[in-house]
Structure 1
Amino acid sequence: MDRLIYTALAGATHTLSQQATVSHNLANATTTGYRAEANAFRAVPIFGDGLPTRAFVVDSTTGADFTPGPIQQTSRDLDVAIKGSGWITVQLENGDEAYTRHGSLQMSPSGILQTHNGMNVKGDVGIISIPPENRITIARDGTVSAVPTVSSPNTVAVMGRIKLVNPPEDQLIKGSDGLFRLKGGGEATADANVTLIDGALEGSNVNLVHEMVSMISLARQFDMQMKILESAERNSQQASEIMVLRG
C-alpha cells in the first residue's frame, strides 16, 4: 500500500512541475528571443522485498528548445536578430558572460550599449561605448558604427564589434534569469560565422498549440494520479474495517 501511495505521489509531484514549465512557456509566448523550456523525466524501479513491479518518476534533464523563432521587422536602428544559430554576449554584474537572443538594444545615459533590461553588451575587446550626439548603425557581422548627427554625417567611426558566439547547444544551460551560460563556466569563443539582421527582432519559439495540448494532457495525468491515491485510501479503509470485524 505504501508503495502505491509513494508511486502516485511521485508522479503527481512531477506532473505539477511539468505544468509549471508549460505555464511559464505560455506566459512567454510573446517574449522576444525566448527559448521554450522542457522537462524530461525517467522511470526508476522501486527495489525492496519482492520483485521491482513499481517505479518512481525522477528528474532526468531540464533543457530548452533551440528552434529559431520567427523574425519580425521593426526598422529600429538598435534592434537586431540573429540569423540562424548563435548568441549575443552580455556582461553580468560580476563580470561573467551570459548569452541571449533578445536583440532589442539601447543606449545607457553614459553611452554604453546595453540590452533592454540594462545589461552591458560585450564586444570583442570589452564593452561598447558610444559618444553623445551620434546615430548608431549595426552591421551584419556585429560591427557598431557611430554617425555624427551634428557635424558631417559622412564621418563614420567604428566603436566596436558585438561578441557573437555559437557554442554547442549541449554545452549551454538556461538560468532562472532567462540567460544562457556554459555548463562548465568560462567564456565562449567569438564566431565570425554568426550574422545579424538589423532592424528586426526574433520572436518567441513557443508553440502555442503544442503547449495547450500539453497542459490538457498533464491535467488528465494529475487527475489519474489523484484517483490512484483515492483508491489507495479506500483500500486502506476497507482493510481496516475487515481487521476490526475479524478482531
Structure 2
Amino acid sequence: MNRGFYSAAAGLLTGQKAVNVLANNVSNVNTAGFKNQSTIQSSFSEYLIARLSDSNKIASPDIGTGAYMTVNSAQFSDFTQGSIEETGRSVDVAIQGEGFFLVQSDTDGEVLTRNGQFEVNENGNLILPGVGRVLNSNKQPITLTGSDFTLSSNGRIIQNGAEKDALYIATVANKNELTQVGNGFFQSPNGFQQAATGVYSLIQGSIEKSNTDMTTEMSQIISRQNNFQSCSQVLKIMDRISEISANQVGKVG
C-alpha cells in the first residue's frame, strides 16, 4: 500500500487530537485554576525508539526506510501561575506560588487542584462543588459552622475568634508526572507532600483564573484545522489515484 496513505491518516489523527485539546482549553477559559493543555508530537520512528529503549547503545535512529508519520506521544500541562481575580467571597481562595489544594473526589479519590471556588454544604463541609470535600492538614474533611471565617496566608482557618482548621497545600517533586483526571484536577503517581511554609501564599476572597490565552488558542485552532483539511484532501487525492490505477491503468482493449 502507498505509504502516503499512512502519513496523511496520521496527520488527520494527530490534528484531530490537537484540535480537541485546544477546544477544551477554550471551553475552560473561565474555569478557576485550569491549566492550559497541549499535545506533544513526534515522528513514529522517534516514538518507537523511545518505547524500545532508553539506552543509546540499543536504540538507533536508523530503523529502516518508511514514512515518518507523526503521533501524539504525550500531553503537556502548563503549570504557570494564572492571574488572580478578586471575588469578595470568603469561601474563594487563590494560591499565589507553588502548591495545590487537596480534595477528596467523589469519583477519583484524592485529587490536586488550583481551583479554589469552594462552598460550605448543608453538613458544614467545605467542598468544591461537583468534585468533593476539601481536606485539612491531616487529610480529613474540613467542617465549619458557616461561610463566615478568616483564612491566613498559610492556610489556617479562623472562625469565631479561634483557629478551626487548616488547609492542606500539596506539592509534588515533578509536576510533569501528574496525571490529569479532569479539567484542572490531577493525581500524582509518585505521591505528594505538604508544602513548606514560604513557597505559597493563600489569598482569601480571590480565585486564580485559567492561564489559557484565548488569542493563542484560537490562532492554533485555525492552523490545526487548515492542516487537518490539507491532510484530508491529500487522502482523497491518493484514494482517487489508487482507484484510477486499479481500474484504468493497464486496461486491455
- Aligned ranges 1:107-118 → 2 under 5 Å: 107-117=120-130
**One-letter code aligned to 1:141:** N
Structure 2 stretches lacking a partner, 5+ long: 49-62
Relative distance call for 1:45 and 1:170 in structure 2 (3 A) is closer
Q: Taking every aligned residue pair, what percent have the same amino acid on both sides?
A: 25
Higher mean C-alpha deviation, range 15-24 or range 232-241: 232-241
TM score, norm. by length of structure 1: 0.86
Q: 8 Å contact 1:123–1:162 — kept in the other structure?
A: yes
Could you state the TM-score of these two structures normalised by the residue count of structure 2? 0.84
> Matched residue of 1:38: which SS?
strand
SS of equivalent residue, structure 2 residue 249? helix
User: How far apart are the structure 2 equivalents of 1:177 and 1:213?
Assistant: 22
d(CA) in 1 for partners of 2:91 and 2:64? 63
What is the alpha-carbon distance in structure 2 between the residues aligned to residue 113 and residue 233 of structure 1? 59
Tell me if 1:66 matches 2:79.
yes
Which one-letter code corresponds to 2:9 in the other structure? L
Measured after TM superposition, the shift of residue 38 of structure 1 is 1.1
| Conservation of the 8 A alpha-carbon contact between 1:63 and 1:174 | no
**Residue 3 of structure 2 corresponds to which residue in structure 1?**
3
**Are residues 1:230 and 2:236 paired?**
yes
Q: Whose Rg is larger?
A: 1
Residues of 1 paired with 2:2 and 2:226: CA distance? 23
CA RMSD of aligned residues (A): 2.3
Matches within 5 A, 1:1-247: 1-45=1-45, 52-93=65-106, 96-117=109-130, 119-125=132-138, 126-131=140-145, 135-147=148-160, 156-167=161-172, 168-176=174-182, 178-184=184-190, 186-193=191-198, 194-240=200-246, 241-245=248-252
Aligned residue pair count: 234
For residue 229 of structure 1, report the CA deviation from its aligned partner: 0.9
Say if 1:82 and 1:11 are closer, same or farther in 2 by CA, change over 3 A. Answer: same
Distance 1:181 1:172 in 2: 6
CA distance in 2 between counterparts of 1:93 and 1:51 reads 49
Residue aligned with 2:134, SS: strand
Q: Could you say what secondary structure the match of 2:80 adopts?
A: coil
The residue aligned with 1:153 is: none
Structure 1 spans left out of the alignment, 5+ residues: 148-155
Residue by residue over 1:73-99, the C-alpha shift from the partner in whole angstroms, topping out at 9 and shown as x without a partner, is 112111111012211111123783211
